[in-house]
Amino acid sequence: MSALPEEYGRRMKRLLGAEYEAYLASMERGARTAFRINTAKVSRGQWEKINPFQTAAPVLWSSKGFYYDSAIDAPSKHPYYYAGLYYIQEPSAMIPAEILPVQPGQRLLDLCAAPGGKATELGARLGRDGFLLANDISVSRCRALAKNLQMAGIYNSAVTAESPEHLAEVFGGFFDGILVDAPCSGEGMFRREPRMIQNWLEKGPSYYAPLQKEILGQAYRMLKPGGSMVYSTCTFSVEENEEVIQWFFKNYPDMELCPVERKAGFSEGRPELTDGGTEELRHCIRIYPHRAEGEGHFAALLKKKAAGRLPPGSGGEAQGRQKDSLPAKEIHRFCKRQAGEFPEIEQMLLGLPLPAGYLEWKDDRLRWLPDEVKKMSGLRLAAAGLPICERKRKVQWSKELALSVPPEYLGGAIDFSVNDGRVIRYLKGETLQTESRKKGMLLISVDGYGLGWCQGNGSGMLKNKYYPGWRYQ
């Protein structure tokens, strides 16, 4: 562990008092590793039946999180990881998406979403009849964000690389729920990522606090009356946490701070360290590494007061919405016009569980898109919806389709047991020999969960079509 800056030490002594030495001792212990199961694909009960990791133990503040011992188990090397059954995530980082109220059918925004840990959990909780916009201002970071959503099978979503201000111009009063995991000085990550210490010396809390206030202000513009917002950071700084929340209430008086169910490891906010902070700031959540099995974190649940009757589609009405599907007659008209020479495309589309939205051909690629994407003209759109196929001389089904839709909707699969060595060989891009005598593009799955495609020649030899950029290393 690198030496902590003197000024940082003085701040932490003021924050922790007699517990400061216990905090220092915790910095010498190894950081905990964890993963969160993806309930868009596998339920908690199903996971308990197939869980292959002998060291898995529940994360106390997450209904889906498990610690593991990286010296014994390697979740990033397991086929279930490639099937998108879980996401490897720092334990404390599971809290913000856990405490944001989510109901199926809502429209959600993860404003600072990369690399996607919180966005994938929001998408899993949302279900197929809502919409998630995952944004990050960095185009390069959006690539990882899009990949993680695709592997998780969260296709009723879009990924943008935009400033909060530009998004607010398009989505005023649009979202039922917003998560703001704000850029911060990273004090809570010093143990896991010592390089953050240099960043703190170069910038520190005084650099980030004005940026956090600006982001929160733009998020407010996009939140519906009656909607909920979570503000979170991975820092201990009162200047970036309680004082930012205090500033927010002063400038946006129709916002209120909501109590959050206290769980093991949660500490309360610190109003006594602010200038005139009110007792309600104790509703905030703090995580300290000497009190909990996770890195430093802060989170606050906020709500915009409803002005009279909630508008249609707001959080108060979302639970009662009907799950509409893309009409078969619309699919037929679209295919007759765009894909008449490829009848297998219409056959595939009619069998998919596609929510209401629309189909689009672009550059010989077909994808399903949520209706919300129609609002995004002029935005930097990094990914959206569900890519279905590419139309060349023959139809090539997409990697996203294999990971997003259960095999029974895709005509079945050549299914391997997780212990079959051919699974890893497939993920490495190798040709496989099987008993299958089928021809054409065939789905490969592991224990019933889709991985990708292969090309059958009728002799049992399967040409590998697994996406090269995602291969097992």
State pLDDT tens for residues 408-428: 999 999 999 999 999 999 999
* Confidence grade of residue 113 (pLDDT, cut at 50, 70, 90): very high
313, pLDDT greater than 90: no
* Confidence grade of residue 315 (pLDDT, cut at 50, 70, 90): very low
Question: What are the CA-CA distances from residue 294 to residues 32, 93, 132, 415, 449 (Å)?
Answer: 6, 9, 27, 37, 31
CA 292/CA 19 separation, integer angstroms: 13
- Main-chain dihedrals φ then ψ at residue 38, nearest 5 degrees: -100, 100
For residues 303, 146, 171 and 356, what is the CA-based torsion angle, rounded to 10 degrees?
A: -100
Helix (H) or strand (E) holding 427: helix 421-427
Cα 406 to the chain's mean position, in Å? 20
Asked if residues 358 and 369 have their Cβ atoms less than 8 Å apart, the reply is yes
| Annotation: CATH topology of 406-473 | 2.30.130
Q: Which of 112, 142, 184, 234 is catalytic?
A: 234
Nearest to 366 by CA among 340, 408, 341, 396: 396
Nearest to 448 by CA among 33, 193, 83: 83
List the chain domain ranges.
6-304, 406-473
The percentage of residues in the chain with a pLDDT greater than 70, rounded to a whole number, is 96
Amino acid, res. 8: Y
Asked if residues 428 and 403 have their Cβ atoms less than 8 Å apart, the reply is no
* Confidence grade of residue 339 (pLDDT, cut at 50, 70, 90): confident
CA 305/CA 165 separation, integer angstroms: 22
Query: What is the per-residue pLDDT across 117-157, written as a single tens digit (0 to 9) for each?
Result: 999 999 999 998 899 999 999 999 999 999 999 999 999 99
* Confidence grade of residue 264 (pLDDT, cut at 50, 70, 90): very high
* Residue 234 annotated as catalytic: yes
Token duo for residue 58: 């529940």
Token duo for residue 463: 């040409």
User: Does 6-304 match 406-473 in CATH topology?
Assistant: no
Average pLDDT over residues 351-374: 95
* Confidence grade of residue 312 (pLDDT, cut at 50, 70, 90): very low
CA 101/CA 86 separation, integer angstroms: 21
278, pLDDT greater than 80: yes
Work out the number of other CB atoms within 10 angstroms of the CB of residue 141: 17
| Annotation: CATH topology of 6-304 | Rossmann fold (3.40.50)
What sign for the dihedral angle of Cα 47, 52, 56, 59? negative
Residue 315: partners with Cβ closer than 8 Å, 6 or more residues away: 101, 103, 106, 176, 177, 224, 226, 227, 228
